[in-house]
Amino acid sequence: MTAVRHIPALVTEVVKGLAVRPGGRYIDGTVGGGGHAAAVLDASAPDGRLLGIDLDPEALAEAARTLAPYEDRVVLRRGSYADMASLAAGFAPVDGVLLDLGLSSLQLAGGRGFSFSEEAPLDMRFDPRQSMTASDLVNQASEGDLARLVWEYGEEPRSRRIARRIVAKRPLATTTELARVVAEAVGRPKGPRHPATRTFQALRIAVNDELRNLEAGLTASLRVLASGGRLAVIAYHSLEDRIVKGFLAREARACICPPEVYPCQCGHVPHLRPLTRRPLRPSRDEVVANPRSRSARLRLAERLLTA
């Protein structure tokens, strides 16, 4: 079988946005195949260090191979970036944190149920130690719960029709079965996007509790960043990007009280200075070279000085 090589998005922008410097310390909270991490280690040579975190044991194994030339400058730990503060014990404070929220090519081609174009069991777990799979949701959730999930996490306007069709056709065992059922429910696609794209996104988010983990990971980044350290987050769909944008805006404000509360009662202290008014996007040349980068959106912020 031909090896699958993952091409990371916005590598130059990430290295520049993190202000990577020789001797700096960095965390890649979604190390994946190690592409971004290698670029950070190159830019922080000769003595910069990096902690790579990932829930996926296959991704960590690939990262270990990719980053082997950097030897003792790299530490790899298995876990969720939601638990970044505890995973970084003994390594933090750091000069930069990166969260790349996209799926890697390794995961899409790994027979683990993430892709509707490859027949595989309905799994979709980043962490195989986790009990719940996509099959559990597809075959056991009520029609109403399925419709709500596909609407909220997939932003799919035909969620009720899809849920009704899934319930009528289950049990469903494989990705291609599910993709076919969704396509039957929504009819012929009007554009290049496969009609099951949003449904698969919704199931993956639900199985891995991605949005709640993102909130926790963003909060954890504040605990590990040194004053003046940088946060870089690459999102690939609007749900993620709204959470990141809202977090950066909230942590830049001195007051987060509701508008009707005056004077301020919260005592909130700003922790971040956003560095991007609008997210950075891949260039046309990058999208041509790496079509999967086309939806990437990079937001940056700097940790404010603390007392």
Segments in the chain forming alpha helices (H)? 11-17, 35-43, 57-66, 84-87, 105-108, 134-140, 143-154, 159-169, 175-186, 197-208, 210-224, 238-250, 284-289
10-27: per-residue pLDDT in tens? Answer: 999 999 999 999 999 999
226-236: per-residue pLDDT in tens? Answer: 999 999 999 99
Q: What was the pLDDT predicted at 1?
A: 36
Confidence grade of residue 189 (pLDDT, cut at 50, 70, 90): low
Say if CB 97 and CB 300 are below 8 A apart.
no
97-141: per-residue pLDDT in tens? Answer: 999 998 877 777 778 999 988 899 999 999 999 999 999 999 999
Question: What is the torsion angle, in degrees rounded to the nearest 10, for the CA atoms of residue 115, residue 121, residue 124 and residue 128?
Answer: -140
Q: Is the pTM of the predicted complex or chain greater than 0.75?
A: yes
- Specify the 3-state DSSP secondary structure of 94: strand
19-76: per-residue pLDDT in tens? Answer: 999 999 999 999 999 999 999 999 999 999 999 999 999 999 999 999 999 999 999 9
Q: Scanning the structure block, which residue is given the tokens 């202000």? A: 19
Under CATH, domain 11-106+210-303 is a member of which superfamily? Answer: Vaccinia Virus protein VP39 (3.40.50.150)
Is the pLDDT at 307 greater than 70? The verdict is no
Domain ranges for the chain: 11-106+210-303, 115-208
Q: Do the two domains 11-106+210-303 and 115-208 of this chain adopt the same fold?
A: no
Q: What was the pLDDT predicted at 4?
A: 57
Q: What was the pLDDT predicted at 106?
A: 75
Say if CB 54 and CB 32 are below 8 A apart.
yes
CA 211, 213, 215, 217 dihedral sign is negative
Q: Scanning the structure block, which residue is given the tokens 């081609």? A: 109
Q: What was the pLDDT predicted at 7?
A: 87
Say if CB 254 and CB 269 are below 8 A apart.
yes
Say if CB 30 and CB 81 are below 8 A apart.
yes
Q: CA–CA separation, 82 vs 104, rounded Å?
A: 19
The least confident of 175-179, 189-193, 201-205, 258-262 is 189-193
Say if CB 11 and CB 296 are below 8 A apart.
no
142-184: per-residue pLDDT in tens? Answer: 999 999 999 999 999 999 999 999 999 999 999 999 999 999 9
Name beta bridge partners: 111: none
196-207: per-residue pLDDT in tens? Answer: 999 999 999 999
Say if CB 122 and CB 133 are below 8 A apart.
yes
Is the pLDDT at 3 greater than 60? The verdict is no
CA 19 → CA 22, 189, 251, 276, 304, distances in Å? 10, 43, 20, 14, 15
Q: Are strands 225-235 and 297-303 parallel, antiparallel or unpaired?
A: antiparallel
- Specify the 3-state DSSP secondary structure of 51: strand
CA 189, 163, 238, 134 dihedral sign is negative
The mean per-residue pLDDT over the stretch 240-248 comes to: 97
What is the architecture, at CATH level 2, of domain 115-208? Orthogonal Bundle (1.10)
To 10 degrees, what angle do helices 197-208 and 210-224 make?
A: 60
